[in-house]
Amino acid sequence: MTVYDENWVAAEEAKRQWMDANGLYKTDDEHASCGVGLVVSINGKPSRQVVVNGINALKAVWHRGAVDADGKTGDGAGIHVQIPVPFFYDQIRRTGHEPDLDKLIAVGQVFLPRTDFGAQERCRTIVETEVLRMGYYIYGWRHVPVDTSVLGEKANATRPE
């Protein structure tokens, strides 16, 4: 488990300085996430109420975000939630494998070109090549279900796959 102490802060600052010196970081871009809210369970236990409160907090500041003329396409604001590890174990089992419960797992979210299937395949090949090159195992790809009926016209036209 990561310990967020002075050593962690110093290491993160060293990374930022290295990125700045190598053209990978611009302090001018430090306006990102200018409106961040945090809703947590202070007892450390997962709770649906935390999610409900997060959604309500987001709704309360809808006027701070951008909305397209279609009235549905937003600026991408949303919430982040923890997904329990057993969910991913179930997904691994669906691929016909048994997860090694003694090892950490990593989950990647990759947005692929929606209509260019050749480009999709090239992207998958690049991702798989690099993941395998780093010594990891790939259990499979999963298409995440999306309810496109709630998307605005512009969002639907420009969404990735």
Active site residues: 34
Place of tokens 């369970």: 41
The amino acid at 105: I
Are the beta carbons of 70 and 156 closer than 8 angstroms? no
88 CB-near residues (< 8 Å, 6+ apart) = 99, 105, 107
Residue 27 sits at φ, ψ, to 5 deg, of -65, -20
Closest CA to 64 of 82, 76, 80: 76
Instruction: Give the tokens for residue 7.
Output: 């050593």
